[in-house]
Amino acid sequence: MARRGARVVKEPAAGSASTAWRQAVARSRGEPPEALPEWRPEEEPSIVDEEGASPTLARRPTTDRTPSSRPGRTGTRHRLPEPVVRELTAATDIPRGAKLAERLGEASHAYDHERYEDARRLLRALAEAAPRSPAVRELYGLTLYRLGRWRPAIKELEASRSLSPSYDQVPVLMDCLRALRRYRDVARLWDELRRASPSAEVVAEGRIVMASALADQGQLPRAIGMLEKTRTIRKPREHHLRQWYVLADLYERAGDIPRARDTFARVAALDPQAFDTRQRVRALR
């Protein structure tokens, strides 16, 4: 959801490095989700930030089609778009830039295959060597997010935005802030995101995080109200189904079992493999 992050970056692209990177992200959106943490049913928190901060509740539904973790060599060759290579070359000396681009490719490959510790190790060194590379800082931030390291993830994602302004990862940044219970900052970013309205998918991700933050604070009616507006969509896309899934979960939390069951069933009817909706429907019978 919030998320979709930097998937495998393979094909060269025209334009700036940040544009190429985001084009690769956009291409990944045609694949089964997800490059970022899965939205799952809201549960009691079980993950704690490494600095002792409040755990996040933002677990997102995924599909059975999501690639699972599998072993592989960290050094697998992975081609990056030429603009990203040029970005790293410009940030360092030319020979070193090419080498760093190869390392970024390795990190992207590790990230895509859910080997987040491998990716983190590579990206930490890359961020030190090329601190002004938006691609490096973004992927490093997403990796830290996947590892539940909220504060350093915020630092990297904010650095990436400052170097190459974009709203793509604002929902992820919101989710990190939500994990730390910085709800005012979540609301501030949501207001900025909805005003900018960069794309339906990104706004939907932000809406889910904002609604979940309201639910965290016991404001279930407001949270439900934010997501109910999408129920009238006649030709829903994936981001609508994701919102409906979270809406159904909020209905269940609010004790409205009939609506929760009906909404879960609606998602399951449109995409039988989406999330864990079929199990949720059975559990509510």
- What is the pTM assigned to this prediction? 0.73
Fold of 218-285: 1.25.40
Half-sphere exposure of 184 (CA within 13 A, CB side): 0
- Both tokens assigned to 169: 């990862």
Q: Distance between CA atoms of 32 and 67, rounded to whole angstroms?
A: 8
Same fold across 1-180 and 218-285: yes
pLDDT digits (tens, 9 = 90+) for 230-264: 888 889 999 999 999 999 999 999 999 999 999 99
| Of 37, 86, 91, 29, residue with least CA distance to 61 | 37
Domains of the chain, residue spans? 1-180, 218-285
In CATH, the architecture of 1-180 is Alpha Horseshoe (1.25)
pLDDT digits (tens, 9 = 90+) for 68-111: 223 333 344 566 666 666 667 666 665 666 778 888 889 999 99
Residues ≥6 apart with Cβ < 8 Å to 42: 57, 59, 212, 215, 246, 249, 250, 253
